[in-house]
Amino acid sequence: MQKHLFISDLHLSPERPEIIQLFVQFMTHQASTAHSLYILGDFVEYWLGDDDAAEGLSEVFSCMKQQ
């Protein structure tokens, strides 16, 4: 049976590094064996007009690329 994972409203932000670390651990362990990962709701904390929305989130995007 294929494993499908769903996550929702993480609001990842450099101001909350503990949540980023938990997400990286999740991607490394649980998500690495899943057939699919569905991201629902707000994945990153972002407001239109921020200087650089990806600043501080490179670890998040890097671990997602590896999967």
Beta bridge partner(s), residue 39? 7
Domain total for the chain? 1
With vertex at residue 64, the alpha carbon angle to CA 56 and CA 25, rounded to the nearest 5 degrees, is 80
**Tens digit of each residue's pLDDT (9 = 90 or more) over 1-44:** 999 999 999 999 999 999 999 999 999 999 999 999 999 999 99
Which of 8, 9, 12, 23 minimizes the C-alpha distance to 45? 12
Burial 20-51 (b: 16+ CB within 10 A, else e): beebeebbeeebeeeeebeeeeebbbeeeeee
Residue 49's pLDDT is what? Answer: 58
Range of the domain at 47: 4-65
| Euclidean distance between CA atoms 62 and 44, whole angstroms | 14
pLDDT tens for 33-66 read 999 999 999 999 876 655 665 667 888 888 888 8
